[in-house]
Copies of this chain bind each other. A is one copy, B any other.
Amino acid sequence: MTDTIHRRRIQVLADKPLMRELIAKAAAVGIENYTLFQAAGGMGESGRWTDDQVTGATAKQMFLAICDKDHEAAFTDAVQPILDSHGLMLLISDVEVVRGKKY
């Protein structure tokens, strides 16, 4: 049986124009690798939205990074101050991976 290793799954929902800043913040605490997913729409305290490629201002993407607990803590500390101002949603959960060295 293949052994799995415990890691942390970080997900951040953010407006597309803010993604570059978020990726830079992650890289600054050592999280270089990530995957992005397009969100299609949603509703939050700042209202309802749908994908919008023409203005490009309100399209949202989900940032996903798998990392260990230390990197996760550093990342959470780094983005915590901008969660409200930037309208982000940060989700953290447990995940198992196979090649622990890679993540």
Counting contact residues on chain A (CB < 8 A from B), the size range is 35 or more
Q: Mark A1-17, 1 if CB is under 8 A from B, else 0.
A: 11010000100010000
Chain A contact residues: helix, strand, loop or mixed: strand
Q: Mark A57-74, 1 if CB is under 8 A from B, else 0.
A: 000111000100000010
Please report A residues at the B interface, Cβ cutoff 8 Å.
1-2, 4, 9, 13, 23, 32-45, 60-62, 66, 73, 76-77, 80, 83-84, 89-99, 102
Report how many copies the assembly holds: 3
* Contacts A83-B98, A96-B93; A4 near B76 (Cβ below 8 A): yes
The 5 sampled A-B contact pairs (Cβ below 8 Å) are A23-B43, A33-B42, A35-B42, A37-B38, A37-B39
